[in-house]
Amino acid sequence: MGRAAEMIGATPAFLRALGEARLIEPLRSAGGHRRYSRYQLRIASRARELVDEGTPIEAACRIIILEDQLEEAQRINEELRTSGGGPRTG
């Protein structure tokens, strides 16, 4: 956890807070150590940016969830558009 926190410029307590908020749920090693994926570190880094800008951690988590949902919806929309699966007109 300490190395992951160092990589994103945060503290282990910050990463624990993100886990408690259920924004990220790291896997556990056999020894019980938290293991973060690159995606989780990217999410944690975005949360740190928002918190550094003055956003409360709970709001930052919600913003990130909404950003992720928007990105997924846009990806699906683009897939439908390029595959011809979009709505038919006329």
Residues 1-20 have a mean pLDDT of 93
Residue 84's H or E segment, with its range, is: none
* Tokens matching residue 15: 């990463």
Do 23 and 65 touch, CB atoms closer than 8 A? Answer: yes
pLDDT of residue 67: 96
pLDDT of residue 21: 92
Residue the block writes with tokens 């558009």: 81
What is the rounded distance in angstroms from the CA atom of residue 63 to the CA atom of residue 61?
A: 5
Task: List pLDDT tens digits, range 28-79.
Answer: 989 988 899 999 999 999 999 999 999 999 999 999 999 999 999 999 999 9
Distance of CA 14 to the CA centre of its chain: 14
pLDDT of residue 16: 93
Helix, coil or strand: residue 31: coil
What is the rounded distance in angstroms from the CA atom of residue 77 to the CA atom of residue 61?
A: 24
Residue the block writes with tokens 């990105």: 71
- pTM as predicted: 0.79
pLDDT above 90 for 89: no
pLDDT above 90 for 1: no
